[in-house]
Amino acid sequence: MPELPETETMARQLDAAVSGRTIQRVTVRKSDVIREVSAATFRKKLVGARFLRSWRRAKLVISDLSTGDRILMQPRFTGAWTIDNGKLDPAALKYSTLAIFLDDGRALHYCDTRRLGTVALMNQERFEEYTGALGIEPLDRAFTASHLSGVFRSTHQAVKRALMDQKKIVGVGNIYANEALWAARIDPSRDASTLSESEVKLLHRSVVTVLREAIKMRGTSFRDYRDTSGEKGGFVDRLNAYGREGLPCPRCGSKMVGTHEIDGRQTVLCVRCQH
């Protein structure tokens, strides 16, 4: 599932590609991906609107329109915006569910193999209500070690689960929780409230570093993720924990262990380094 680095990559690419462009036409092939409004209203409200800015909040790719409305794309497992400049391989658009045609001849497609992602249209008031329950952004200045310590003190969840709680901290999913905990040498199953001040500081630094490095590499394409150009993310070659069950730990050489017992998802750790 695309996490913060992947959605940040898509948002940056989308902003560079479509800001200032006007929407001339919209087609909807699969209306079940649309949220908040009907397919007919979605088409009607978009035609004539101009893209002002595209950005990320949590795991959402958000596009501000000249009408005051916002498009929110939530990719979930396989969703992505794909930009067709007329030279794109038609196979890349096999799973296009809707298309937004621009005034420069290009088209913006929402492609989703499993069709579990969504595209919503919201006004400002509804947007504020929708995003109001989301947690802090881990790359914002307000996300300090002290803030993270407060998050952990308020829960007895496993530290990995607490890191992934989107009401506390947004954007950190399974891949980057595994990576940050490995980097900080912390057992993912530890009760979050038991971490010492020094451990919290190290984990805070690890979360920020891992996310920034993954953004530089345009995210992680472990399975389905592609950016707006259809390219894979390069961080997969730098993974130290996620997907490495049974392989040697890059730090100490011990065999990496995998489990689903912490939160029902694949957790990979080094039992020698992370204790």
Give the model confidence (pLDDT) of 11-29 as tens digits: 999 999 999 999 999 999 9
The pTM assigned to this predicted structure is: 0.91
126-174 tens-digit pLDDT: 999 999 999 999 999 999 999 999 999 999 999 999 999 999 999 999 9
Q: Are 47 and 264 in contact (CB under 8 A)?
A: no
176-226 tens-digit pLDDT: 999 999 999 999 999 999 999 999 999 999 999 999 999 998 776 555 556
Return the higher-pLDDT residue of 69 and 232.
Answer: 69
59 is catalytic: yes
Helix, strand, or coil (residue 37): coil
Among residues 2, 5, 138, 188, the one annotated as catalytic is 2
Q: What pairing do the DSSP bridges indicate for beta strands 34-35 and 118-122?
A: parallel
pLDDT band at residue 239 under the 50/70/90 scheme: very high
Residue burial 87-110, b: 16+ Cβ < 10 Å; e: rest: ebeeeeeebbbbbbbbeeebbbbb
Segment 193-202 long-range contacts (CB within 8 Å, at least 24 positions apart): 193/152, 193/153, 193/154, 193/155, 193/156, 195/149, 195/152, 195/159, 197/149, 200/145, 200/148, 200/149, 200/152, 201/145
pLDDT score of 231: 66
pLDDT score of 1: 67
pLDDT score of 226: 63
For residue 255, pLDDT beyond 90: yes
Name the average pLDDT for the chain: 93
Among residues 3, 6, 8, 179, the one annotated as catalytic is 3
pLDDT score of 228: 61
Q: Is the C-alpha dihedral spanning 150, 156, 160, 161 positive or negative?
A: negative
2 is catalytic: yes
For residue 235, pLDDT beyond 90: no
Helix intervals (H) in 154-241: 159-163, 174-183, 197-216
Among residues 57, 59, 160, 168, the one annotated as catalytic is 59
Question: Which whole number is the average pLDDT over 106-125?
Answer: 95
**In the chain, what percentage of residues exceed pLDDT 90?**
85
pLDDT score of 223: 59
pLDDT score of 172: 96
**Rounded CA separation 61/106 (Å):** 19
Q: Are 74 and 59 in contact (CB under 8 A)?
A: yes
pLDDT score of 230: 64
**In the chain, what percentage of residues exceed pLDDT 70?**
94
pLDDT band at residue 65 under the 50/70/90 scheme: very high
265 is catalytic: yes
8 is catalytic: no
Among residues 50, 238, 265, 272, the one annotated as catalytic is 265
pLDDT band at residue 234 under the 50/70/90 scheme: low
For residue 86, pLDDT beyond 90: no
For residue 250, pLDDT beyond 80: yes
**Rounded CA separation 98/108 (Å):** 8
For residue 81, pLDDT beyond 60: yes
Residue 234 pairs with which residues in a beta bridge?
A: 220
pLDDT score of 233: 63
Helix, strand, or coil (residue 255): strand
Q: Is the C-alpha dihedral spanning 200, 206, 209, 211 positive or negative?
A: negative
pLDDT score of 89: 80
